[in-house]
Amino acid sequence: MNKSKTKFQRKTLAKTPTSIKGLDEITGGGLPKGRPTLICGDAGCGKTLFAMEFLVRGATDHNEPGVFISFEETEKELTANVASLGFDLEDLVSKKKIWLEHIFIDRGEIEKSGEFDLKGLFVRIHRAIESTKAKRVVLDTIESLFSAIPNPTIIRTELRRLFGWLKKKGVTAVITAERGDGSLTRQGLEEYVSDCVILLDHRVSDQSSIRRLRIVKYRGSTHGTNEYPFLIDEDGFSILPVTSLGLSHISSKERISTGIPRLDTMFSGKGYFRGSTILVSGTAGTGKTSLAAQFVEAACKRGERVLYFAFEESPSQFMRNMSSIGINLEQFVKKEILHFHATRPTLYGLEHHLTTTIKLINKVKPRVVVLDPIDAFVMGDNQSEVKIMLLRLVDYLKEKNITALFASLTNGGEKQELTDMAISSLIDTWLLLRDIEIGGERNRGLYILKSRGMSHSNQIREFKLTDKGIDLLDVYVGPEGVLTGTARISQEAKNKEEQLQRQLEIERKQSSLELKRAAKDAQIVVLQSEYKAEESEALKIIEMEKAKTERFEQYQKKVAESRKADLQAIAQK
């Protein structure tokens, strides 16, 4: 008898969605349902706000009431602090969606009595859960609860008891804890009895603050293990799981215009690929921003939304300057097709800039994004950090099929084909603008350094800014090298003069040949006339001789007849 084998079915861990932007993606669906999660970090990293948003999102987005037990801030203080995030706790409390309670721990009384028991806390939490039918519970912070207990053994026992009790209640709990010296928490035990541990970090690098999140452990579930930048602003928490992006994006075959017809012809007459990353680099004053503005204008005329990140000029100054070359962008701002975000790179750290950029992209939903210039982020020796930030941004833009144009300032000299961030591997199309100095003049030149996936011109074009936009001209390439500006005009005039002289010489030789041909023809006519005259004269002489011969023969015949000669003998003669 064959025994049937039961096939094992993989089961996924039940999870509670947080609705915190980005967190559910890196956790694979949210926090472990019915289990405690520890949120640890230094002061000011956002633990309380994280816990509060978890509770508010559950009540508003998933109809899951929650309980917030605070051991430090009062109900009034909490309500005022989170109001700036748009959370109306008073309304949620009145609707019994959230139970908000502050429990004061009298350390002096505990120190005098030496006794500590969590039964009273369990009773109050149980009453709050039953009153609101809560599915979520927050305890903030656990250090305030145990800080007055001098005995580590009691602390460990009560911690295990607390976490075990929360599990039995079947609620999804979030417990906040201060970070310890050399450990995730001050007690060094909370992280071991928690099913999920999330570390929030707020560090300062080069006088710029950076916030990052890392999932230290997650029992029973896979999760992202990288450090993820996050932002706390008027919309709450925003976590960017951009480090988890791979190379699975779909590349578009659609081509879009550069905004400059002659530049389009350099790209097989079709322009850039949709969703590609374009780098425009060059020294100061070569026209990088103008080239970006021409591309922006073309995109806006197609009706595509454009998001322009300006790190050196205000939008007003930028639009004023571009109007001098015939590019009117103000009309597109009024139509809300063109959006600007202007700020100094030193205002935030790199991760904050990245988070803000991604957030604005999600809000505006542009088809084209411009960053001008990206080298403004480079300060000191942070080139590698800037490259990592741009790598994350490029991956995100490609995932969304957004065409990106980066402007970058390069140093003069022979190494203009190098960038400060060494990001050439991230770029699909690279335009290099350079100064060409000759004959006491400084002119601009443009050429395509590379363009993946398409044939493109290898020629240098003179780059001119006119009152009607950008114009590309052919440069003169000869024995003297590449000539632009006045030198090009002079050389072209010289070439035209030489060509005219050559044309006149050809015409002179052709005229001489015509004259010689006419003279030959005339000589032939004279010779033919002389030949005909001589021929006529010769024919006359021949006729006369024939006539003389005939008359002579007739004369002889008559003489013979008169002399009765033998006519037959005469005839034989």
Exposed/middle/buried for 528, CB within 10 Å: 0-12, 13-18, 19+? Answer: exposed
Longest dimension (CA), the chain: 200
Q: In 3D, which of 105, 92, 94 has the Cα closest to residue 136?
A: 92
Length of the chain: 573
pLDDT at 1: 46
What average pLDDT does range 4-10 have in this prediction? Answer: 64
Q: How far apart are CA 54 and CA 24, in angstroms?
A: 11
pLDDT at 215: 92
Q: What tens digit of pLDDT does each residue of 34-89 get?
A: 999 999 988 888 999 999 999 999 999 999 999 999 988 899 999 998 888 888 99
- The confidence band for 117, taking pLDDT boundaries of 50, 70 and 90, is low
Q: How far apart are CA 358 and CA 373, in angstroms?
A: 17
Which of the two residues, 240 and 173, has the higher pLDDT score? 173
Cβ atoms within 10 Å of 253's Cβ, excluding its own = 8
Q: Decide if pLDDT at 30 tops 90.
A: yes
pLDDT at 397: 92
- The confidence band for 241, taking pLDDT boundaries of 50, 70 and 90, is low
Q: What tens digit of pLDDT does each residue of 546-557 get?
A: 888 888 888 778
Looking at mean pLDDT, say which of 132-141, 155-164, 205-214, 534-543 comes out highest: 132-141
SS (H, E, C) 330-387: HHHHHCCCEEEEECCHHHCCHHHHHHHHHHHHHHHCCCEEEEECHHHHCCCCCHHHHH
Q: In 3D, which of 224, 285, 315, 301 has the Cα closest to residue 25?
A: 224
Q: Decide if pLDDT at 412 tops 80.
A: no
CA 516 and chain centroid, separation: 71
Instruction: Among 39-43, 122-126, 494-498, name the one with the lowest average pLDDT.
Output: 494-498
Q: What tens digit of pLDDT does each residue of 339-370 get?
A: 999 998 887 778 778 888 988 999 999 999 99
Percent of the chain past pLDDT 70, that is, above it, reads: 85
Assigned token pair, 187: 């007690």
Question: What residue type is 24 in one-letter code?
Answer: D
pLDDT at 242: 56
pLDDT at 7: 67
Question: What residue type is 5 in one-letter code?
Answer: K
Across all residues in the chain, what is the average pLDDT? 84
Instruction: Among 134-138, 193-197, 531-535, 552-556, name the one with the lowest average pLDDT.
Output: 552-556
Q: Decide if pLDDT at 480 tops 50.
A: yes
Percent of the chain past pLDDT 90, that is, above it, reads: 38
- The confidence band for 473, taking pLDDT boundaries of 50, 70 and 90, is confident
What average pLDDT does range 225-237 have in this prediction? Answer: 83
pLDDT at 509: 87
CA 547 and chain centroid, separation: 113
pLDDT at 571: 54
pLDDT at 106: 64
Tell the residue number behind the tokens 């998001």, with chain if given. 307
> At 355, which helix (H) or strand (E)?
helix 350-364
Q: Does residue 292 contact residue 374 with C-beta atoms inside 8 Å?
A: no
Looking at mean pLDDT, say which of 187-201, 276-290, 549-563 comes out highest: 276-290
Assigned token pair, 417: 């084909």
Exposed/middle/buried for 427, CB within 10 Å: 0-12, 13-18, 19+? Answer: buried
Number of H helices, E strands in the chain: 17, 24
pLDDT at 5: 58
Q: Decide if pLDDT at 565 tops 60.
A: no
Question: What residue type is 290 in one-letter code?
Answer: S
Q: How far apart are CA 216 and CA 198, in angstroms?
A: 6
Please state whether beta strands 66-70 and 98-102 pair in parallel, antiparallel, or not at all (unpaired): parallel
Peptide bond into 48 cis (omega under 30): no
pLDDT at 529: 86
Instruction: Among 256-265, 319-328, 416-425, 467-476, name the one with the lowest average pLDDT.
Output: 416-425
Q: Decide if pLDDT at 411 tops 90.
A: no
SS (H, E, C) 409-451: ECCCCCCCCCCCCCCHHHCCEEEEEEEEEECCEEEEEEEEEEE
Q: In 3D, which of 385, 396, 383 has the Cα closest to residue 356?
A: 396
> At 153, which helix (H) or strand (E)?
helix 152-169
Q: How far apart are CA 475 and CA 467, in angstroms?
A: 21
SS3 18: coil
Which of the two residues, 329 and 552, has the higher pLDDT score? 329
Which of the two residues, 489 and 52, has the higher pLDDT score? 52
Distances (CA, A) of 262 to 258, 270, 485: 9, 10, 18
Q: In 3D, which of 228, 218, 58, 235 has the Cα closest to residue 138?
A: 58
Burial 6-34 (b: 16+ CB within 10 A, else e): eeeeeeeeebbbbbbbbbbebbebbbbbb
- The confidence band for 255, taking pLDDT boundaries of 50, 70 and 90, is very high
